């Protein structure tokens, strides 16, 4: 236990808290900037199991703030969940890492949070946050909302039945295109560090049972304008569709394939209705006549003209070079088939 000696000395944690951390399982949904920080800190703190979920791969524009990743991860186009898992194993070999390379949606979110003592929000979009909110409220799992854009950040800890849920605070997501995103207005790393630090501390309080130390509020920070604000504490709204009426609309089967424009990235993600295992070798052979193909154990990359298709093992693809769903669908159908 020598590696945790400074943390055990800290009166809020102690030997008992350290033991509880070692027995805990946390899920980090989204391994970008916030998720990188969550995963690293929780592994260093000695959390026993970490489930790392991400749909994307490492790119050089991530390295400015996504502290888990290296230039080599970007050169090798590793999926973020795999690259993060590799680094976590080197940071703390006692932490069991469970990487999941997939797009979070209604077919998998309940499985992903199952058996977790806390879920940390490292996502960059409201659709996924409402999915996490629905699944966590339904199954009584604590989760910690966090977001950062520009120099502004916000976080809230959601305890089903005790605190307001995400939908109590924001009944609807802002309309697409109306809110600034990291891809339109940028983001600086210090605000990531602040939001992540509060989320990680809340996770440690939850996992060690120090519930009276939780901040019980919506915390907002602007590190450039020097503004810090706390709203709350509040209580769950009786008529909240999610935690009041227990209607979990995002978990319902929508049928068909999922197509999502990856905002500000000039890219579209296409997911087949049913995941299928792709044989990269065979696909590479088929595509080699049409353009340049490269693949590793986790993904295949194909360049045709102005477009670049990245295909994952479950046939999900990220198509770069367009933000039009129709073009992306047609490229998917042409090259991957369905
Ligand atoms: Zn609610």
**Could you report the per-residue pLDDT of 257-305, keeping only the tens digit for each?**
678 887 778 899 988 777 788 889 988 988 888 889 999 999 999 998 8
What is the 235 CA–ligand 1 centroid distance (Å)?
Answer: 9
Could you give the angle at the alpha carbon of 311 between the alpha carbons of 65 and 134, nearest 5°?
65
Question: What six digits make up the tokens of 17?
Answer: 């808290």
- Checking DSSP bridges between strand 118-121 and strand 25-29, what pairing results, if any? parallel
What is the 331 CA–ligand 1 centroid distance (Å)?
Answer: 40
| Residues sharing a CB contact under 8 Å with residue 135, sequence separation 6 or more, in sequence order | 109, 110, 112, 113, 141, 248, 251
Q: How far apart are the first and last CA of the chain?
A: 53
Does the pLDDT at position 73 exceed 90? yes
At 149 the pLDDT is 92
Give the percent of the chain with pLDDT over 70: 95
Beta bridge partners of 308: 303, 320
Q: Average model confidence (pLDDT) for the chain?
A: 92
Reference 264, options 180, 199, 338, 207; nearest CA is 180
Q: How far is CA 53 from the centre of its chain?
A: 6
pTM: 0.87
What is the 139 CA–ligand 1 centroid distance (Å)?
Answer: 14
What is the 145 CA–ligand 1 centroid distance (Å)?
Answer: 13
Return d(Cα 192, Cα 146) in angstroms, integer: 9
What is the 125 CA–ligand 1 centroid distance (Å)?
Answer: 18
What is the band of 172 on the pLDDT scale with cuts at 50, 70, 90?
confident
At 131 the pLDDT is 94
Return d(Cα 216, Cα 211) in angstroms, integer: 10
At residue 131, the 3 state secondary structure works out as helix
Question: What six digits make up the tokens of 88?
Answer: 């976590």
Q: Which residues are catalytic?
A: 182
Does the pLDDT at position 126 exceed 60? yes
């Amino acid at each position: 236990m020598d590696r945790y000696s400074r943390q055990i000395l800290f009166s809020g944690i102690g030997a008992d808290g350290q033991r509880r951390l070692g027995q805990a399982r946390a899920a980090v949904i989204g391994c970008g900037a916030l998720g990188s920080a969550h995963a690293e800190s929780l592994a260093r703190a000695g959390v026993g199991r970490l489930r790392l979920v991400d749909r994307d791969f490492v790119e050089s524009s991530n390295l400015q703030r996504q502290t888990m990743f290296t230039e080599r991860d970007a050169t090798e186009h590793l999926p973020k969940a795999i690259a993060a898992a590799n680094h976590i194993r080197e940071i703390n070999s006692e932490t069991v890492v469970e990487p999941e390379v997939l797009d979070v949606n209604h077919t998998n979110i309940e499985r992903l949070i199952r058996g977790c003592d806390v879920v940390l929000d490292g996502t960059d979009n409201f659709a996924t946050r409402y999915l996490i909110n629905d699944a966590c409220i339904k199954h009584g799992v604590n989760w910690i909302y966090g977001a950062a854009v520009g120099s502004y950040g916000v976080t809230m800890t959601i305890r089903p039945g005790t605190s307001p849920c995400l939908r109590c605070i924001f009944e609807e997501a802002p309309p697409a295109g109306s809110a600034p995103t990291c891809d339109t207005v940028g983001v600086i790393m210090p605000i990531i560090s602040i939001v992540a630090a509060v989320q990680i501390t809340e996770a440690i309080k939850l996992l060690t049972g120090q519930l009276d130390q939780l901040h019980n509020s919506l915390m907002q920070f602007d590190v450039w304008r020097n503004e810090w604000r706390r709203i709350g504490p509040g209580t769950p709204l009786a008529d909240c569709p999610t935690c009041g009426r227990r209607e979990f609309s995002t978990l319902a089967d929508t049928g068909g394939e999922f197509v999502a424009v990856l905002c500000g990235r000039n890219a579209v993600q296409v997911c087949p209705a049913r995941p299928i295992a792709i044989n990269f070798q065979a696909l590479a052979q088929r595509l080699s006549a049409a353009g340049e193909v490269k693949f590793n154990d986790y993904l295949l990359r194909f360049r045709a003209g102005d477009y670049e298709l990245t295909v994952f093992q479950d046939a999900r693809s990220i198509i770069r070079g367009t933000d039009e769903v129709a073009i992306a669908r047609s490229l998917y159908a042409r090259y991957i088939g369905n």
